[in-house]
């Protein structure tokens, strides 16, 4: 046998060390997955609010601005602050679509809208070949009992004859805020489509508003009739509601029935969101036994022999913005800074975004009305804080009784909400107030998520899916989970994933399809398709490079330089100094969302879709802007 000299031995040792260093990242990821797999499956609670700004949470404001209040003024969030102190607060969490249906679809699927084919309120379903299981389906296969309370509304339905709002069966137990609570007298003030039977067929007759009082009495009247003519009684009933509950409606834009402020008809313990929490608590308190829901239906409590995966979906602070009187009165005396807005901001926007601005416009409202809308919005968020405190307490107590660890994720808003920024009270846009949120992740096992930490990495809503799957003991490094677009937040916090330089999103509501890309310094967005409608079968695979080859004006771009314009008030996409940079972003974003696995489906069909891969691998998470194209 040939002997190795000293130099050869040293060389071998050096090669071994280098090899170990190169594989360290992969080994760390594997070890994390193995640790999670070996632990007993924890109970999982995922809380999602609707339209909630992160600056409604004091813990977020302290981390971002050094003060407990929002830049606009006073907020209350003691229970959420306590939750944040128990785990990690992710202050740069971005939605992948600034409207509930596609945002929640991306959360539940773990896929970007452009890779799930879900851009708006399409009635998506689980039938096409490219579809993968949702989070609740996957964890159910590992032994979890799955449940959802309140608003789920991911717009994922079951395919079948008469395709419509058919339950896809994603959850073992479900309490919906509309179909179970409001329909059974457990609501407050809400609107809904009204149907009737004509010649044996069920047809929509208009849009009605319903008032449910504390004593059980109700009132209903039309806000819009199919024939377009409201009766004197309709108008009188609406005015009665306006006066009785101090209602501020969005009278300066198209949807004048939208309620931006007012007093809830119900006390704090009887609002629809309070009833969502009651049903959540009842399900846990009646573990392993039958019980009656608050509207008298037969139900079965949680199965304590199974780990629980629970989604708690609040409707608040979504419109109608109606905090209960006991909380609203505290906020009436607070004065808020109204965001600055000039019409010149909108003049620099492309037509697509002008339509979104006009749809949410509050420019003509009085200063007093704008104050009232901000006061009531933050008061409604404070009501949510009270309810979240009750739900978290019940969940922890149940986990302790059942002898399981727990994981709590709180997604602060399925997207954001403007309170005057860009001159609107709405969402839908590519601006930061529509897309920027926050998240809190708390684990009873502090080796996974420590206490009282703030993380400033860019994270996305598609990250929640791999985080939950990892917590459930599923190794998402396996090939069958390559479809997941996000990173586990465990890996993000422990720096086992490379940092992202940008976040992505796309939407198709109000004025057609639009994608956005945000970095620390720049916010860029563009039109992605030459038409406004949802994709139909004859358009599949057609003109997918249009946004890259059409004129710069047709691409309807916006670009904001946050070093000079942190409030996104000056679109410089067509400024000569920024023209090369805008063109670079257009190419970067266009190749990602149009050519790196873009899915478009005609959801009216069982299995009609197209996948585009002309720029496969474009989504590299890096922003390497060439030197010289960023203006000094």
Concatenating the DSSP letter of every residue in 215-281 gives TS-EEEEEEEETTS---HHHHHHHHHHHHHTT-EE-TTSS-TT-EEE---SS-TTTSHHHHHHHHHH
For residue 162, what pLDDT is reported? 75
Domain 503-612 is of which CATH architecture?
A: 2-Layer Sandwich (3.30)
> Please, are residues 31 and 386 in contact by the beta-carbon 8 Å criterion?
no
> Please, are residues 559 and 585 in contact by the beta-carbon 8 Å criterion?
yes
For residue 546, what pLDDT is reported? 98
For residue 503, give the nearest of 477, 524, 484 by alpha carbon.
524
Q: Where are the domains of the chain?
A: 503-612
For residue 200, what pLDDT is reported? 72
SS3 401: helix
SS3 72: coil
For residue 446, what pLDDT is reported? 96
Task: DSSP letter for 461, please.
Answer: G
| Confidence bin at 254 (pLDDT 50/70/90) | confident
For residue 5, what pLDDT is reported? 38
For residue 518, what pLDDT is reported? 98
| Confidence bin at 261 (pLDDT 50/70/90) | very high
Angle between helical axes of 367-402 and 78-85 (0-180°, round to 10): 50
For residue 538, what pLDDT is reported? 94
What Cα–Cα distance (Å) separates residue 257 from each residue in 227, 487, 599? Answer: 17, 41, 36
Concatenating the DSSP letter of every residue in 85-106 gives HTSEEEEEEE-SSSSHHHHHHH
For residue 36, what pLDDT is reported? 52
Q: pLDDT > 70: what percent of the chain? A: 94
Q: What is the mean pLDDT of the chain?
A: 93
| Confidence bin at 29 (pLDDT 50/70/90) | low
For residue 632, what pLDDT is reported? 81
Between CA 42 and CA 48, with CA 47 as vertex, the angle to 5 degrees is 145
Decide if pLDDT at 19 tops 70.
no
Q: What is the rounded CA–CA span in Å between residue 71 and residue 337?
A: 8
Q: And the tokens for 202? A: 């069920």
In terms of residues, how long is the chain? 632
For residue 402, what pLDDT is reported? 94
Q: What is the rounded CA–CA span in Å between residue 25 and residue 30?
A: 9
Decide if pLDDT at 493 tops 90.
yes
Helix (H) or strand (E) holding 173: strand 173-176
For residue 31, what pLDDT is reported? 46
Q: What is the rounded CA–CA span in Å between residue 85 and residue 453?
A: 7
Could you tell me which residues come within 8 angstroms of residue 46 by beta carbon, excluding any fewer than 6 positions away? Answer: 309, 310, 311, 312, 408, 409, 411, 464, 468
Could you tell me which residues come within 8 angstroms of residue 112 by beta carbon, excluding any fewer than 6 positions away? Answer: 96, 106, 462, 485, 504, 505, 506, 593
Q: And the tokens for 108? A: 């539940």
> Please, are residues 263 and 328 in contact by the beta-carbon 8 Å criterion?
yes
For range 379-388, the mean pLDDT: 98
For residue 62, what pLDDT is reported? 98
> Please, are residues 461 and 107 in contact by the beta-carbon 8 Å criterion?
yes
For range 156-182, the mean pLDDT: 92
Q: What is the rounded CA–CA span in Å between residue 586 and residue 228?
A: 43
**This model's pTM is above 0.85:** yes
| Confidence bin at 117 (pLDDT 50/70/90) | very high
175-198 pLDDT, tens digit each: 999 999 999 999 999 999 988 777
């Amino acid at each position: 046998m040939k002997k190795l000299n000293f130099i050869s031995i040293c060389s071998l040792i050096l090669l071994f060390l280098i090899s170990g260093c190169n594989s360290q990242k992969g080994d760390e990821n594997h070890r994390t997955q193995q640790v999670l797999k070996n632990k007993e499956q924890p109970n999982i609670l995922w809380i999602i609010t609707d339209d909630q700004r992160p600056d409604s949470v004091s813990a977020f404001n302290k981390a971002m601005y050094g003060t407990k209040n929002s830049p606009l003024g006073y907020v209350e969030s003691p229970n959420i602050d306590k939750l944040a102190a128990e785990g990690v607060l992710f202050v740069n969490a971005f939605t992948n679509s600034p409207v509930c249906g596609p945002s929640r679809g991306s959360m539940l699927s773990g896929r970007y809208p452009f890779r799930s084919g879900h851009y708006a309120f399409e009635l998506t379903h689980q039938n096409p070949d490219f579809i993968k299981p949702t989070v609740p389906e996957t964890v159910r296969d590992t032994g979890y009992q799955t449940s959802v309370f309140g608003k789920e509304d991911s717009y994922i339905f079951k395919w079948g004859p008469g395709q419509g709002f058919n339950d896809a069966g994603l959850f073992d137990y479900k309490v919906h805020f509309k179909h179970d609570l409001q329909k059974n007298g457990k609501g407050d003030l809400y609107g809904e489509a009204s149907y009737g039977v004509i010649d044996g067929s069920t047809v929509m007759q208009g849009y009605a508003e319903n008032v449910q009082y504390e004593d059980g009495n109700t009132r209903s009247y039309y806000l819009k009739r199919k024939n377009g003519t409201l009766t004197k009684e309709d108008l009188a009933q609406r005015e009665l509601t306006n006066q009785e509950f101090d209602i501020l409606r969005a009278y300066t834009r198209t949807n004048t029935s939208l309620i931006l402020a007012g007093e809830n008809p119900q006390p704090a313990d009887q609002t629809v969101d309070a009833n969502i929490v009651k049903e959540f608590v009842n399900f846990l308190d009646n573990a392993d036994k039958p019980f009656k829901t608050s509207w008298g239906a037969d139900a079965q409590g949680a199965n304590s022999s199974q780990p629980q995966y629970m989604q708690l979906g609040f409707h608040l602070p979504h419109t109608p913005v109606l905090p209960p009187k006991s909380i609203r009165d505290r906020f009436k005396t607070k004065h808020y800074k109204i965001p600055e807005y000039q019409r010149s901001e909108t003049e620099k926007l492309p037509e697509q975004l002008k339509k979104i601005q006009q749809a949410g416009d509050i420019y003509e409202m009085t200063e007093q009305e704008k104050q009232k809308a901000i006061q009531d919005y933050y008061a409604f968020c404070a009501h949510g804080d009270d309810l979240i405190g009750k739900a978290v307490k019940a969940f922890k107590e149940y986990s302790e009784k059942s002898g399981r660890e727990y994981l709590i994720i709180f997604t602060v808003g399925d997207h954001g909400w403007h309170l005057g920024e860009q001159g609107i009270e709405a969402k839908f846009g590519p601006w930061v107030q529509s897309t920027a949120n926050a998240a809190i992740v708390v684990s009873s096992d502090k080796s996974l998520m420590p206490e009282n930490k703030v993380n400033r990495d860019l994270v996305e809503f598609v990250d929640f899916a791999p985080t939950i799957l990892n917590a459930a003991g599923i190794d998402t490094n396996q090939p069958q989970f390559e479809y997941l677009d996000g990173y586990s937040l465990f890996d993000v916090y422990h720096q086992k994933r490379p940092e992202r330089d940008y976040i992505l999103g796309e939407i198709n509501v109000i004025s057609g399809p639009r994608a956005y890309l945000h970095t620390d310094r720049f916010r860029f967005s563009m039109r992605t398709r030459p038409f406004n409608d949802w994709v139909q079968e004859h358009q599949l695979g057609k003109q997918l490079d249009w946004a890259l080859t059409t004129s710069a004006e047709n691409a309807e771009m916006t670009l904001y330089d946050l070093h000079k314009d942190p409030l996104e008030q000056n679109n410089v996409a067509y400024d000569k100094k920024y023209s090369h940079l805008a063109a670079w972003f257009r190419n970067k974003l266009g190749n990602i969302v149009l050519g790196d696995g873009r899915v478009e489906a005609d959801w009216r069909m069982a299995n009609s879709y197209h996948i585009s891969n002309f720029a496969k691998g474009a989504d590299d998470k890096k922003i390497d802007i060439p030197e010289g194209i960023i203006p000094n």
